[in-house]
Chain A
Amino acid sequence: MSFISPTFLTVRNIVTVIKNLTTVAILSFGLTFVFISGGFDFSQGAILLYSAILIISFNPGTIGGVFLYSLLVVGIAVLFGTFNGVLIGFFHLNPFVVTLGLRNVIAGIIFISTAGMTVGATAQSPVLEYLGLGRFTRWLPVQTVFLISIAIICWFVLRFTLYGRKLLLVGNSEIVSAYSGLKVEQLKCSSYIINGLLAGIAGILLGSQVSHLLPELAWHYDYDAITACAVGGISLLGGRGTLLNTISGLLLLGFINNSMILLGLPFAWQQILKGLVLFVAVAADVWVRRKLYE
């Protein structure tokens, strides 16, 4: 790629790629929790958009106001996540269909609250603007600092805590983990709550990045996140993968996206390529699994 496009390997481009990945990245960290515990989530894109819209449409002004309001927004996102978690964990409902249903419900709420039009901040508060567009030094956007710290926390939780290990075991086999005394229902529920939390945070970061948002055009984030996880080697069947998988998938997806834009590929082809990448990634995962069993 660096041969075809001279701008590809510049620091500026790489920083841009990482900065543009922020939203998708945080979503895919949340999905990682859900995936390794053997679940699935279609609704997080909707949760993300709803929190972004909430953040954009209200202007608290002071730092304290922004902080409190953000807490409220994240709380709502966590509520949605808890809804998923309780239904899937404790009621044993099908995760695909529950989250697909919630996605539609939130889409309706978004439509009602925006009347299908662009949401715009009348006057964006300077605090939010700093959060969205500010830089610490010349090359380090504030958002990237957030991204990296969230990534480190998630990586630590999944890799070094008992909780992360338990999630992996639940994803590997619910029956075995139930017999070994794990509280499977609570663990599954918690993964959706974490997912909701991260979707809310991602929504706040997205909302602070843009001052205007047309919800109709922003429905692709969660599909990108699913693709990133699959490409990185998180098994969509549960029980396998670390956060490093997700990050590598993200970087690959980010640079694929970036290359397609630099090459001037039309949107239709970008869609087709993304679909193919998802397909190949999942097929490879299944193939590797089968080899392991043999």
Chain B
Amino acid sequence: MRKKLDVWIIFIGLLFIFFILSPDFRSVGTIKALLLLIPTNGVIAVGMTLVILIGELDLSCGAVLASSGLIMARILPFGLPTAILAALGWGGFIGFINGWSVSKLKINSLIVTLATTFIVGGLSLLISDRPLHFNNQFLRIFGNEGFLSIPYTVMVFFLLVILFQLLLKKTRFGLKIYAIGGSQLAAHYAGIDVKRIQNFVFIISGLLSSLGGIILGSRLLAAGPIYGQEAAIVAITSVLIGGTVLGGGRGDMIKTFWGVMVLGILTKGMNLLLLPAYLQDMIVGSILILTLISSKIAQRKEIISR
């Protein structure tokens, strides 16, 4: 017997509720607009899932997102491929610094990423203290158009989810991630190179955060130093809603996918119901706390029933 309420059921339920409550919700255009808002958080949540699976946290997502958007905007005159590579390279570099500090210096990942948030945030203010607007045909199409009314950015998100799900479930790398999340010490004694995996995961998280910046930039055709400040908490919340457990070792990408969808539909659906936008902060925060409580209760029940 299935006792747990799966997240996708909540998603369908929410879809249904908004469908009834809001007439605007019943058009294809609205759904497409809603879909466009999801992938920025989605790709960051994919990276965050890996980070949470090995039992760490990454707060620097928002700063990396903003700064890579700015870098892309600044380098765009030198050609699009260079700009995108530079942005991704920057994200990967920050991810490497985070990973190196966690694995080699053994600093708490939260504090490291808090410090890099300051540093990267300051650097992006140096790059530009106001939003930069740019125009690029390819980026405009990539960010706003789609194939068969599925936006390209959403396809990228779907592809990443599938790719990383396979990586987690079918490869040795994925197995090692679960092992480290279960117990770092045990993984170390089992001969797994914990430091290398930690480095790798943080680099991936950095890369995906800057991909989030590129996606946001291509949708808005602009980049600014304070864009995406909330990215980290939103990503953490969507990962946890999905059912991935804080502390590591349990969870996967499909869960995160549904978590992203639920949070996306909840916060953006509220806009359609004409609830004020600033309620979103509160909703994200309270959902985060509620999810934590409920997952704790579920864990306790599991232990008792064993």
Contacts and interface: CB of A to CB of B under 8 A. Distances in A.
Interface in A81-109: 87, 91-94, 96-98, 100-109
B288 to A, nearest CB: 4
B285 A93 contact: no
Contacts of B125: 266-268, 271
Contacts of B101: 279, 283
A138 to B, nearest CB: 37
Interface residues of B, number: 44
B292 A278 contact: no
B108 to A, nearest CB: 6
A11 B129 CA distance: 35
Contact of B288 (A101, A106, A107, A286): A101
A279 B112 contact: yes
B285 A101 contact: yes
Contacts of B121: 271, 275
Contacts, number: 131
B78 to A, nearest CB: 24
A31 to B, nearest CB: 13
A237 interface: yes
A275 B119 contact: yes
Interface in B163-205: none
A264 B106 CA distance: 35
Contacts of A87: 289, 292-293
A275 B115 contact: yes
B72 to A, nearest CB: 19
A224 to B, nearest CB: 10
Interface string B223-247: 0000000100100110010000011
A257 interface: no
A97 B292 contact: yes
B159 interface: no
Point out which of A92, A236, A275 has the most chain B C-beta atoms below 10 A from its C-beta: A275
B210 interface: no
Contacts of A279: 101, 112, 115-116, 119
Interface string A250-294: 000000000000000011111111111011001100110010000
B45 to A, nearest CB: 15
A274 B281 CA distance: 26
A240 B252 CA distance: 37
B128 to A, nearest CB: 10
A272 B289 contact: no
Point out which of A112, A272, A273 has the most chain B C-beta atoms below 10 A from its C-beta: A272
Given A101-B285, A107-B285, A269-B126, 5 more contacts: A105-B281, A106-B285, A107-B282, A271-B122, A286-B107
Interface of B: 57, 101, 105-108, 110-112, 114-123, 125-126, 129, 230, 233, 236-237, 240, 246-247, 276, 278-286, 288-289, 292-293, 296
The 6 A-B residue pairs with the shortest CB-CB distance in the complex, in nearest-first order: A108-B282, A104-B285, A275-B118, A271-B122, A272-B122, A268-B125
25 contacts: A91-B293, A91-B296, A97-B246, A101-B233, A101-B286, A104-B233, A104-B282, A104-B285, A104-B288, A107-B281, A107-B282, A108-B282, A108-B283, A108-B285, A116-B278, A236-B108, A266-B125, A268-B126, A272-B118, A274-B118, A275-B117, A275-B121, A279-B101, A282-B112, A290-B106
Interface of A: 40, 87, 91-94, 96-98, 100-109, 111-112, 116, 223, 226, 230, 236-237, 266-276, 278-279, 282-283, 286-287, 290
